[in-house]
């Protein structure tokens, strides 16, 4: 075990996978000499050379399309889109080409491609640069959607992404990049897709989160225990597609209450899907309606106070839990 920040764990995953598999190469905006906007690819150009670490023009649709073509041609590219906010420009390639070619070609073509992007608000970057779109990508059949919350998961899941034969949308919350955590140094360390992580066991309520919101969930669980003597179970989904609903349902059947916390917008967000599935599969076990703690229904403002008022906080989670016990 080595303690490292998530950005360093991601870099280790890329390094190890590039050493293991010569078909892997990286392309993206400023991933070379600049080292990546969040310093994930720092030093990789020097180590692997220009053939395998390629700086691209600012052309999101084009570079994702080139990645898809290279994947169809037998390579395993990774495209870094800098941030999820720019992925709108590549949406057609992701949705119409990467996600569908395997199905439309009756299984003849597959697109082994990893698309990495940073997501999340909270840095006062304004409405265009603060999206959380994990749920949007999870909407499309044919994609895999991964959103780690820790250094260890970041490494294990990114390495696993390169063992997949499909397009993996790999979403990294910017608040997680500097978080430190213990990471296994075994080069075969993988975290399987579709296996949620029970981060904290509890008996009174299940709090479900993913990506950045896992940390609000954990802090809320600690507050509930010390201040309210409520025992909260916290589940990190890790991947939204495939989705490990069995772990969530088993937990809800034990605790009889569920709170979903996410940075996505409430209206039409991924929490709605989780809530519906809990209702469908565990209705008789619920002692209260499923609660959702999400981003307020507004583009994220620049002003710090306004931005924090819009984003979900641990206090919001605690409040949602307490409401369940009062009703």
Partner 1 sequence: MTTETTARETLGAERLGMFLYQMMLIRRFEEKCGELYTKGKVRGFLHLYTGQEACAVGMMATLDEHDKIVTHYRDHGHALARGLDPNRVMAELCGKATGVSGGRGGSMHLYDVSKGFLGGYAIVAAHLPLAVGLGMAARMKKEDSLALCVFGDGSVGEGEFHESLNMSVLWKTPTIFFCENNLYGMGVPFKESLSTEIPKLAAAYNMPAVSVDGMDVLAVYEAMQKAVAHCRAGNGPYFIEAMTYRYRGHSMSDPELYRLKDEVDQYRKQDCIDRLKATMQTAGYLSEAQFHELTERVEQVVHDAAEFAENSPQPGLDTLFDHLTKEPAHG
The binding site for partner 1 (CB under 8 A) comprises: 25, 51, 54, 56-57, 59, 61-75, 77, 92-93, 96-97, 101-110, 141-142, 144, 165-166
Would you say 69 or 126 has its CB closer to partner 1? 69
Query: Minimal distance in Å, beta carbon 168 to partner 1?
Result: 10
- Nearest approach, Cβ of 47 to partner 1 (angstroms)? 17
DSSP 3-state of 108: coil
Nearest to 140 by CA among 92, 189, 181: 92
Q: How far is CA 86 from CA 8, 16, 59, 141, in A?
A: 23, 27, 9, 21
User: In the complex, what is the shortest distance from the CB of residue 96 to partner 1, in angstroms, rounded to a whole number?
Assistant: 5
Q: What are phi and psi of 318, to 5 degrees?
A: -60, -45
Output 283-288 pairs: Cβ under 8 A, ≥24 positions apart.
Answer: 285/252, 285/253, 285/256, 286/252, 286/256, 286/257, 286/258, 287/256, 287/257, 287/324, 288/256, 288/257, 288/324, 288/327
55 or 222: whose CB is closer to partner 1?
A: 55
For every residue of 276-307, DSSP letters joined together read: HHHHHHHGGG-SS--EEEEE-SSPPPSSHHHH
Residue 131 appears among annotated catalytic residues:
no
Among the options 12, 16, 60, 134, which is catalytic? Answer: 60
Out of 102, 129, 228, 273, which one is annotated catalytic?
A: 129
For partner 1, the closer CB: 165 or 203: 165
List, as own/partner pairs, every contact residues 246-254 make where C-beta atoms lie below 8 angstroms and the sequence separation is at least 24, other chains included.
247/195, 247/196, 247/198, 248/196, 248/206, 248/208, 248/274, 248/277, 248/278, 249/277, 249/278, 249/281, 249/282, 251/198, 251/206, 252/206, 252/278, 252/282, 252/285, 252/286, 253/282, 253/285, 254/203, 254/206
Nearer Cβ to partner 1 (165/178): 165
Assess whether 129 carries a catalytic annotation.
yes
Between 143 and 183, CB nearer to partner 1: 143
Q: Which is nearer to partner 1, 62 or 184 (CB)?
A: 62
- The residues annotated with a catalytic role in the active site are 60, 129
């Amino acid at each position: 075990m080595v303690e490292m920040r998530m950005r360093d764990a991601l870099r280790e995953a890329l390094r190890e996978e590039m050493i293991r598999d010569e078909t892997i190469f990286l392309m993206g905006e400023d991933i070379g000499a600049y080292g990546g906007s969040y310093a994930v690819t720092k030093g990789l150009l020097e180590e692997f050379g220009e053939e395998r670490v390629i700086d691209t023009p600012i052309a999101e649709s084009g570079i994702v399309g080139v990645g898809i073509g290279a994947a169809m041609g037998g390579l395993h590219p990774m495209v870094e889109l800098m941030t999820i906010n720019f992925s709108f420009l590549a949406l057609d390639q992701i949705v119409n080409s990467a996600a569908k070619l395997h199905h439309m070609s009756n299984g003849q073509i597959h697109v082994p491609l990893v698309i990495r992007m940073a997501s999340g608000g909270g840095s006062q970057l304004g409405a265009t640069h603060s999206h959380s779109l994990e749920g949007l990508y999870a909407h499309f059949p044919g994609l895999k959607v991964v959103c780690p919350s820790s250094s260890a998961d970041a490494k294990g899941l990114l390495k696993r992404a390169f063992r997949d034969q499909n397009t993996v949308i790999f979403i990294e919350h910017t608040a997680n990049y500097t978080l430190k955590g213990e990471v296994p140094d075994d080069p075969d360390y993988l975290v399987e897709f579709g296996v949620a992580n029970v981060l904290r066991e509890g008996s009174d309520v299940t709090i479900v989160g993913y990506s950045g919101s896992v940390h609000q969930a954990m802090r809320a669980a600690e507050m509930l225990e010390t201040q309210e003597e409520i025992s909260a179970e916290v589940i990190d989904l890790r991947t939204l597609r495939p989705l490990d609903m069995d772990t969530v349902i088993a937990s809800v059947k034990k605790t009889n209450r569920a709170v979903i916390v996410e940075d996505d917008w409430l209206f039409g967000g991924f929490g709605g899907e989780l809530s519906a599935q809990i209702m469908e599969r565990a209705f008789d076990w619920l002692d209260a309606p499923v609660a959702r703690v999400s981003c307020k229904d507004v583009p994220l403002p620049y002003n710090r106070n306004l931005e924090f008022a819009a984003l979900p906080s641990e206090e919001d989670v605690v409040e949602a839990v307490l409401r369940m016990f009062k009703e």
